[in-house]
Structure 1
């Protein structure tokens, strides 16, 4: 059974050397990144002893971190065997993206039109997203993609919807890593959905905004289902 190698991947500064750190949350965050970038593949066993050595802390916060990730559905817990990275599931992905669609469409229907300054900020983020795709930086793409949508959703006064939409985005991070690969495909890059969303916001065209979102959603979901079908 594969386990985490602590010899080559232990950080130069362990969590135990940092003050004021929420150890469970930090361990969960760092482990989530490893899972999202594919370093820890589906089915990979997460041994508490390995993680404790990796981060330089006791097993108590490690156990709490694993419970946090299990609650998110990112990892699975077998009482007899331990913790494992959850498998990617087309059924789970379909349900998660359906819930995202309902909330995100509602947010887009209620956004206030952005100022020219905000449009400029969106365009800066679009440029950085393109650079990350070019560099093959999936993890960076995921984080920046969320930041862009965070700013777009913030144009709506429905803050409860926004918080839930962002939570669902985090739950689909592993799937959005695959979406980054789909977005990087030449067939889709010439018509970046994010860029078209910004254009629709700039032109204050609600119908175009919603149509662009839906078209992009279907492209990504179809691509994900194809990729996941090959894995299952």
Structure 2
């Protein structure tokens, strides 16, 4: 009797290693350039210039610009190309109104931070105060976003967190460009200090009251600054 050959079933090919998400990473870099004022409102963004600047092909550049258009950081006109979106007090007012509503909801769900988390928030506060006194607006904007992200991470509502952080990125350029004194902030960073104080005290009513009061004051100063510039 002949020997029967046994054939093993074909195996699935090994998954291909995931390439870095170049468009998302590049979008973050361009967003920071906009926030820092290195790319001005209305400035044209030529694909070939960006590809040369970042040392990549034009394909991921097109994907990157599409992401920024979806975020309203960049505008696209088929006849004129891509441009950094202009600043607008009307847009800022709407964005901050939405943020106010969503962030209030998010803060109502955060758990109280433990000792280590409070220490981390206080370290972040010290960094914010350092940037304020030094007038380092671009660094302050990044640290400000990270500070709030650390607080919002205390909430279990992940979908709401993502939306709030997306809106914060959209308003970063207003905080960075609207006023030389960082949209009216004083030393120390009063709104942020109030948040940490009320979180440490585990006082939900005081937390929401401080947030609402400080947020309204910051918005008023920022919008007044934009209006004074004719935006």
Fold similarity call, TM over 0.5? yes
Q: Which runs of 5+ in 1 are unaligned?
A: 1-18
SS at match of 1:156: coil
Q: In the TM superposition, what whole-angstrom CA distance separates every residue of 1:25-54 from its partner, at most 9, and x where no partner exists? A: 232222111111011111111111211111
Residues 141, 180 of structure 1: 8 Å contact kept: no
Q: What do the CA deviations read for 1:176-226 (whole angstroms, capped 9, x no partner)?
A: 2247854585x7324611011101111112121111111111121111111
Q: Contact between 1:74 and 1:85, CA under 8 Å: does it hold in 2?
A: yes
Cα drift, residue 159 of structure 1? 2.1
Which deviates further from its counterpart, 189-198 or 88-97?
Answer: 189-198
The 2-side partners of 1:183 and 1:109 are apart by: 27
Match of 2:205 in 1: 207
Higher CA-based Rg: 2
CA contact (8 A) 2:132 2:187 kept: no
Distance 1:175 1:97 in 2: 10
Equivalence for 2:153: 154
Q: Which residue of 1 aligns with 2:138?
A: 139
Following TM superposition, the consecutive aligned residue runs of length 4 or more in structure 1 with deviations greater than 6 angstroms are none
> Residues 1-232 of structure 1: matches in 2 within 5 Å?
20-178=19-177, 181-182=180-181, 188-190=186-188, 192-231=190-229, 232=231
Residue 117 of structure 2 aligns to a residue in which SS? Answer: helix
Question: What is the count of residue pairs matched by the alignment?
Answer: 213
**What per-residue deviation string (whole Å, max 9, x for no partner) do you get for residues 63-102 of structure 1?**
1111111111001111111111110111111111111111
Mapped contact 2:129–2:188 kept (Cα < 8 A): no
Equivalent-residue separation in structure 2 for 1:114 and 1:191 (angstroms): 20
Q: Any stretches of 5+ residues in structure 2 without a counterpart? A: 1-17
Higher helix share: 1
Please tell me whether the aligned partners of residues 36 and 177 of structure 1 are also in contact (alpha carbons under 8 angstroms): yes
Aligned alpha-carbon RMSD (Å): 2.0
**TM-score (normalised: structure 1):** 0.84
Q: 1:72 to 1:222 in 2, by over 3 A?
A: same
The answer to whether the 8 A contact 1:179-1:220 is kept is no
The worse-fitting range, judged by mean Cα deviation, of 161-170 and 131-140 is 131-140
| Deviation of 1:134 (Å) | 2.3
